[in-house]
Amino acid sequence: MSFHLLIDARALQKNVDGISRFTLNVTRCIIGKRPDWKITTLVGKDAAFHLENTEAGIILDNSSRFSASANKKLSSRVNDISPDVFLNFSMAGPQPDAPSIITVHDLMVLNLPCYFGDSIIRNAFSRFLFRRALKASIGHASAIAVPTMTTKLDVMRSFQSATDMVFITGEGQALFPSPVSIQQKRQNFFLYVGNARGYKNIPRFLTAYGRLWALDDKTPPLVMVVRKDRAYSYFRKHLDSNPARSNIKVLTHISDDELRNLYLTCKALLIPSVYEGFGLPALEAMATGAPVMASKTTALEEIVGDTGVLIDPYSIIDIMRGMAELSTATPEELNKLGQLGQKRAGIFSWEKTTDCFLEQIETLA
């Protein structure tokens, strides 16, 4: 009888975000690397089309990943399916009888102040609920996947009992599967790719950009690719009051081809987050040879290393300093940063990430 792997891919969204890319690419790689396995996926109805052309079986499930009652019902459903191993690309979910791997992409939900908005009471209560849910999930799991050492340390600090179960997977990027020549002519604009939630540090970022532009109107225009989600209206308030508003272009829901073109032509990618579990846009930009400005003391520093311009995300002055360095750098200096970044990007791949998962899966089996 063939080995049966059940994958909880409910983190996959119709409009692909960072965790969706992780879920989709690792699932596809597992299917490709283990064609003799029976692989079944749990996926939401709106996102199922992403997996329709694979060899995996699909079970539609629109239940909430963070609902205790929904996950209790789903646990019974998984037990009926009776997989050999249950792989969950989220940190919360069902707790079936089969050996289980959960994925903790980050712990900002517990560690980032005001993650749930401005209300102190709401933040305290929401963190309490998430901590309780995550503690139960970690207590049940057979192994815990994390993308970076930064996230591993966060998990170990918050849940000491998990220390021996945590393994680092890394991440990859699939936008540029073939080597990219960095000799192409880049245009004079900065690029931001991401959402507008609190951890992305948008208020300080926009303030820094506005002040730098006020000091030097030759500061490159800023193109922001921002997903429309619960934080978008808050982002627009900051944007519309910015003195450099005329120098900032906002795009939403662009295609992968459009995103590739932006990475290939931008002067540099700016990603000044106060918290990241990995930072996929940084890796995607590095793969094209685009210089990257990224935050110290976050997982971004782990990804970018010494190949980019590192800034203190809590200092508006230092964010300005990072942008000014890139704005005034010579083509030769930018090209050197791009070469270093592209070389470093080569150490990350979805194949390596998948191999880390497969090693754990086969150990549990």
Please, which residues have CB within 8 angstroms of residue 355's CB and are 6 or more apart in sequence? Answer: 33
Output the CA torsion 171→172→174→178 (10° steps): 180
Residues in the chain: 365
Residue 139 has pLDDT above 90, yes or no: yes
What lies within 8 Å, CB to CB, of 210 at 6+ separation is 242, 243, 244
Tokens representing 154 are 């966060």
The CA distances from residue 333 to 217, 251, 289, 305, 308, in Å, are 22, 29, 12, 17, 11
| pTM of the full structure | 0.92
For the chain, report the end-to-end CA distance as a whole number of angstroms: 13
- CB-CB contact of 74 with 93 (8 Å): yes
Could you read off the pLDDT of 96-118 as tens digits, one per residue? 999 999 999 999 989 887 777 77
* pLDDT value for 248: 97
Percent residues over pLDDT 70 in the chain:
100
pLDDT score, position 224: 97
Q: In whole angstroms, give the CA distance from residue 108 to residue 159.
A: 14
**Which residues touch 306 (CB under 8 Å, ≥6 apart)?**
340
Supply the pLDDT for residue 1. 53
Beta bridge partners of 268: 190
Q: Is the pLDDT of residue 84 over 80?
A: yes
As beta bridge partners, residue 71 has: none
Residue 197 has pLDDT above 70, yes or no: yes
Round to whole Å and give the CA distance between 218 and 276: 30
**Domains in the chain: ranges and CATH:** 4-172+349-364 (3.40.50.2000), 190-345 (3.40.50.2000)
Range 293-324 burial, b when 16+ CB lie within 10 A, else e? bbbeebbbbbbbeebbbbbbbeebebbbbbbb
User: Average pLDDT for residues 149-160, to the nearest whole number?
Assistant: 95
Pairing of strands 100-103, 85-88: parallel
pLDDT at 288: 96
Q: What is the pLDDT of residue 94?
A: 93
Question: With 60 as the cut, is the pLDDT of residue 362 above it?
Answer: yes
Could you tell me if 106 and 276 are in contact, meaning their C-beta atoms sit under 8 angstroms apart? yes
pLDDT band (50, 70, 90) for residue 231: confident
Q: What is the pLDDT of residues 278-304, one digit of tens each?
A: 999 999 999 999 999 999 999 999 999
Tokens of 274: 């106060």
In angstroms, rounded to a whole number, what is the distance separating the alpha carbons of residues 178 and 183?
Answer: 15
Instruction: Return the DSSP state at 218.
Output: T
Q: Which of 91, 265, 278 is nearest to 194 (CA)?
A: 278
Instruction: Compute the distance between CA of residue 201 and CA of residue 103 in angstroms, rounded to an integer.
Output: 25
> Per-residue pLDDT tens for 1-20?
589 999 999 999 988 888 99
% of residues, the chain, pLDDT over 90: 80
Q: What is the mean pLDDT of the chain?
A: 93
Closest CA to 119 of 107, 108, 127: 127
* Integer Cα distance of 123 and 46 in angstroms: 30
Residue 182: pLDDT band with limits 50, 70, 90: confident
For residue 61, the one-letter residue type is D
Q: Give how far Cα 346 sits from Cα of 3, 23, 193, 254, 270, Å.
A: 32, 20, 21, 26, 20
Q: Do β-strands 85-88 and 57-60 pair in parallel, antiparallel, or remain unpaired?
A: unpaired
Please determine, for residue 206, whether its predicted confidence score (pLDDT) is greater than 90: yes
pLDDT for residue 192? 98
183 pLDDT more than 80 = no
| Stretch 9-38: mean pLDDT | 93
The tens digit of pLDDT for each residue in 247-289 reads 999 999 899 999 999 999 999 999 999 999 999 999 999 999 9
Pick the range with the lowest mean pLDDT from 52-66, 281-295, 337-351: 52-66
pLDDT at 123 exceeding the cut of 90? no
Give CA separation, 291 vs 17, 183, 201, 318, 332, in Å. 22, 13, 20, 17, 12
Instruction: Give the tokens for residue 38.
Output: 């029976």
Let me know: does 10 contact 61? Beta carbons within 8 Å: yes
Is the pLDDT at 312 greater than 90, yes or no?
yes
Indicate if the alpha-carbon torsion angle 151, 260, 330, 318 is positive or negative. negative
| pLDDT value at 338 more than 80 | yes
The DSSP H or E segment spanning 301 is helix 299-304
